[in-house]
Amino acid sequence: MKTSTGQSTRAALAASMLVVSHALFGQSATVPRIEPSAAAVAYGVSADSLSWEQALDLALWASSVPGLGGPKPAEEARTADARQAASRLAASRKAVTDAAADLARELPPSATEAEAADFVLRFMHRRFLKSYSERQTRLDLLTESGRYNCVSSAALYAVLALSIGLDVSAVASSDHAFCVVRADGMDYDVETTNPWGFDPGSKKEFHDSFGTTTGFAYVSPKDYRNRKTMGVKELFSLILSNRIVELESSRRYSEAVGLSVDRWTLLGSPAEGDGAYGELLGRLLNYGSSLAMAGKESEALAWAGAAVAAFGPNPRWTEFRGTALNNLVVGLLRRSDVGAARARLDAEGGTVPPRMKEELERAIAATELAEAIKAAERVARTDGWRAGLAALDAVNASSADPKALADARRVFRGNRIAELHNRFAALYNARSYAEAREAAAEAVAEFPDDTRLKADLETAERALVSSGAGR
């Protein structure tokens, strides 16, 4: 459990980053909330042993806290939607509070703790639970509709059990959750989705109906590897976790971020190996990926920077930034915006894997060379291949691919030689042998090792001799 100081530091850091996120992404209704809600901070620093009223408030908060947020005018808190949501929560709270009072009156005074735990389960099913719904994880919706799943029914059971003074905790497996009650010196499993779920291993009625209702298999106390024991606070955090899954299945990635921040803060577990941290990191990355897949690589990189500043570095962020920067730079290069590509690599290159930076450096250099070759070709078309070759010679050879630059020079040189040869040929064919000899001599002076130009000079000299002009 984190200390109060640690939680306050984390909340302050995340809250400070809210300003960054809004500066980057504006005041959009879909801005992720990366600061924890006040309730998450408050419950995060509290002990795990909650009163039943605190447990009820925590479960209702986890069921209803919005994923989005940010700086808002005070009057927005008084909107019709906000009033309606507050009214629904108040109704849910009253329904459970009234039920707790009735439970206390109806519980037989002579009941043992184990009998009381069983009584709570049957009372809850009579009072609230109507139909199993695999994804209905919220306590407020349970009280309204009677629809429940393992998490929402376990949350309600925990609140009611606490209200009569029972010692209750929870167990989670890979895809299921239920309660455990410490009664009369023994631990009893309580499969809250079933009215016969108290100490289920001993009841035929439970085994006949449980799998048919829920689709899950009961995880007995002997199966230690598949059971994770947790307190009530962590049980209620599963409401947030399931809501996160639902949001992401609807591609509402920005809302999932806020709930993940709250769950991470609530559990007070910043370690990288912790489940809440892994869930938070995954949601942060998924939102960033949604930006990148929408072609918003610049926003994705800005989001990565804000998230790392708020929650710390991780190798997965390095890979994410590398992919986003690669896509951004490649897109800029395809638009021939080499300057912008270079600027982004200079700004972000230190945050990506070294191999990725090297690959992008090569891609930018190749594009710069390609652009330089195109520019030299434009010069050649207007001023001739000699001027084009001079333009190509001005390219920074240290940053260019040596082979690509040599290939380009070979082409430009060949075109310049062809240009000189054609000039000679035109004069020679016009029987202007003296001028042809002069042109050939100038060509050989420019390219003394070229055999074709030397042959042109010899041809011109022979023609002059034959014509008598060379005597």
* Per-residue model confidence (pLDDT) at position 394: 87
- Distance, in Å, from the CA atom of 422 to the CA atom of 308, rounded to the nearest integer, reads 64
Task: Give the model's confidence band at 83: pLDDT under 50 very low, under 70 low, under 90 confident, else very high.
Answer: confident
Query: Quick check: 272 pLDDT over 60?
Result: no
Which one, of 187, 252, 250, lies nearest residue 220 by Cα? 187
Higher pLDDT, 82 or 153: 153
Mean pLDDT in residue range 170-190: 93
Question: Are 116 and 39 in contact, with CB atoms under 8 Å apart?
Answer: no
Which residues of the chain are in CATH 3.10.620 domains? Answer: 79-230
CA 212 from chain centre, in angstroms, equals 37
Average pLDDT for residues 376-391, to the nearest whole number? 94
pLDDT over 70, % of the chain:
82
CA distances from 219 to 142, 197, 201, 257, 424 (A): 24, 12, 10, 31, 95
Confidence label for 368 from pLDDT (cuts 50, 70 and 90): confident
Please state which CATH number belongs to domain 79-230.
3.10.620
Q: Quick check: 121 and 195 in contact, CB under 8 A?
A: yes
Which amino acid, residue 172? A
How far, in Å, CA of 414 to CA of 235, rounded?
Answer: 77
Tell me what pLDDT residue 14 has.
41
90-104, 197-211, 239-253: lowest mean pLDDT where?
197-211
The yes-or-no verdict on residue 400 having pLDDT over 80 is no
* pLDDT bucket at 209, cuts 50 / 70 / 90: low
Residue 331 and residue 324: Cα distance in Å, rounded?
11
Q: Would you mind telling me the total number of residues written for the chain in this entry?
A: 471
pLDDT of 2 reads 32
Between CA 176 and CA 188, with CA 182 as vertex, the angle to 5 degrees is: 50
Look up tokens 């020679």; give the residue: 428
**pLDDT, tens digit, 9 for 90 and up, residues 5-55:** 334 434 434 433 443 444 444 434 467 989 999 999 998 887 677 899 999
Contact 318, 351 (CB under 8 A): yes
Q: DSSP readout, 411-459?
A: HHHHHHHHHHHHHHHHHHHTT-HHHHHHHHHHHHHHSTT-HHHHHHHHH
pLDDT at 28: 43
Taking the C-alpha atoms of residue 417 and residue 425, their distance in angstroms, rounded to an integer, is 12
Is the CB of residue 404 less than 8 Å from the CB of residue 369?
yes
The per-residue pLDDT for 49 is: 78
Q: What is the pTM of this model?
A: 0.75
Over range 414-441, report the average pLDDT: 95
Beta bridge partners of 30: none
What pLDDT shows up at residue 198?
Answer: 96
The mean pLDDT value of the chain amounts to 86
φ, ψ for residue 180 (rounded to 5)? -130, 130
State the pLDDT at residue 261. Answer: 94
State the Cα–Cα distance between residues 456 and 445, nearest whole angstrom.
Answer: 12
- Spatial contact of 34 and 14, defined as CB atoms under 8 Å apart: yes
